[in-house]
Structure 1
Amino acid sequence: MENIAWYINVLFGATVILSIWLFMKAARYSKTALFLILGWALVQTVLGLSGFYENSSSLTSRFPLLVVFPLIFLGSLFFTTKGKAFIDGLDLRWLTIFHIIRIPVEITLLFLFLGKAIPEAMTFEGRNFDIFSGLTAPLIYYFAFVKKNIGSTLMIIWNAVCILLLLSVVSSAVLSLPERYVQFGFEQPNIAVGFFPFLLLPALLVPLALFSGAAAIRQLIVKKTVTL
């Protein structure tokens, strides 16, 4: 994408590295988790660099290849014995602080909009309020785990709101793909997700963020049930 400065690629690349590191902290450096994350990132990186997603006429039909597998796999963990054991063993503190990645992601999205690679609706200048999750994550972490002034109920609500905000921007991203953006009134198609490294946003960061929120909610509900 010619209109995107090199430092935006660097910023997003650093965000991907930060995201993997924070999630690995939450996963207590699970070798299996690291292998799966890096393996999936490598597969999508190779496809992206090969130009597999770049053609706007085929991007919409190929987009599911970025997101379906990780969403199905991560979702299945909530329904298997080993999966639930993995989720319950995650560090809730790091699952919480993980959401700070949404700050550099939102900055990246703003620059992608300015570079005419995504619609304004996907930024915080449009209909994307997901930056709220990133800005409040340090506060939730501090008051929940340092000051211990926040209980499970409020944390469940916060995580649920974070999931809903993320789903909102995801819906804008899907509806503004090249073959759909005119139908839904978007002024600019979402073509950024067809290019490396930005394709790692739907392929890796979004699934990890959704999973982190859902895993945290499960842990908090289990904790409340055990306490009762």
Structure 2
Amino acid sequence: MNPDIPIYYSILLILLVFVILIAIAQGVNYGLSRLGFQAGKKSKIATVTSLAIFTWLIVTETLAFSGYFKDYTSNPPHVVILYILPIIFIIYLLQNKKFERLLMEIPPSWLINAQSIRVIIELIFWGLFVNNIISKRMTFLGSNYDILIGLFAPFISYYCFQRKLSKYYAIIFNVLGLLFHLTIVSVAFYSIPGEARLFYPGPANTLYGYFPFIWLPAFITPFI
């Protein structure tokens, strides 16, 4: 852990990870039930899914504690792994027919509402900026507009899926959410120390080298 980061921000992020884990478990269980899976089969799939996620979390946590992601002299920096591996996994899932069937059974309103956690993340980022851990550019006061997606998510979900607002607005909303997310991911990457850094002034982004913030790019970012 970074001793300069107030402990309550770390605790809040860990709690957020557990909330996401519960949400994933509920979503998978609901989707499998809709597909007609029996209790034994659902339990097996849920166990395998949970073990896979926990293994990934433990591996990234262990590497963070070892200092592996604090090496910014390599080319590319080790932290790049946290961006590449989740992207590869997401591409694999999107091409997997079984996952596609499961995803289609989950209410789209749930997927929209899940974007609300961006508000919590942005408030954490703001607190880290106030404590001079990250630059202003990485917050909603700079180039990070993710908080808007989080704030509007419940309204888009309600009016698109419980009222008569066209569902195309939900698609547009998701596209905007992806663009905003790619923006902050780019800002975060080009704020790390070393040759890759493009954004000044303010502190370099060393946040992802520490537990539990390693889980932002390794787990939370791919989820939302």
Shift of 1:93: 2.4
Query: Compared with structure 1, are the counterparts of its residues 120 and 81 closer, same or farther at alpha carbon in structure 2 (3 Å cutoff)?
Result: same
Q: CA deviation at 1:87?
A: 2.9
Structure 2: any 5+ residue segments left out of the alignment? 31-44
| 3-state SS of 1:27 partner | helix
Q: For 1:34 and 1:150, how far apart are their aligned partners in 2?
A: 36
Query: What is aligned with 1:86?
Result: 102
Query: Displacement of 1:90 after TM fit?
Result: 3.1
Asked if 1:102 corresponds to 2:118, the answer is yes
Query: Given that residues 160 and 169 in structure 2 are in contact (C-alpha distance below 8 angstroms), is that contact kept between their aligned partners in structure 1?
Result: no
Return 5+ residue gaps in structure 1 as ranges.
210-228
Normalising by structure 1, what TM-score?
0.82
Q: Cα–Cα, structure 1 residues 73 and 182, in superposed 2: closer, same or farther, change >3 Å?
A: closer
Give me the identity figure in percent. Answer: 29
The separation in 1 between residues aligned to 2:169 and 2:156, in whole angstroms, is: 9
Give how far 1:55 is off.
Answer: 4.2
The equivalent position to 2:206 in structure 1, one of 173, 191, 194, is 191
Count residues in correspondence.
208
Shift of 1:186: 4.1
- Corresponding residue number in structure 2 for 1:15: 16
The TM-score normalised by the length of structure 2 is: 0.83
Distance, in Å, in 1 between the alignment partners of 2:160 and 2:51 is 31
Aligned pairs for 1:160-179 (under 5 A) are 160-179=175-194
Confirm or deny: 8 A CA contact 2:71 2:78 kept in the other structure. no
2:187–2:199 Cα contact (<8 Å) kept: no
Q: Is the 8 A contact 1:100 1:137 kept in 2?
A: yes
Deviation at 1:124, TM superposition (A): 0.6
CA RMSD of aligned residues (A): 2.1
Q: What are the equivalent positions in structure 2 for 1:21-40 lying under 5 Å apart?
A: 21-28=22-29, 31=46, 32-40=48-56
In the alignment, what sits opposite 2:171? Answer: 156
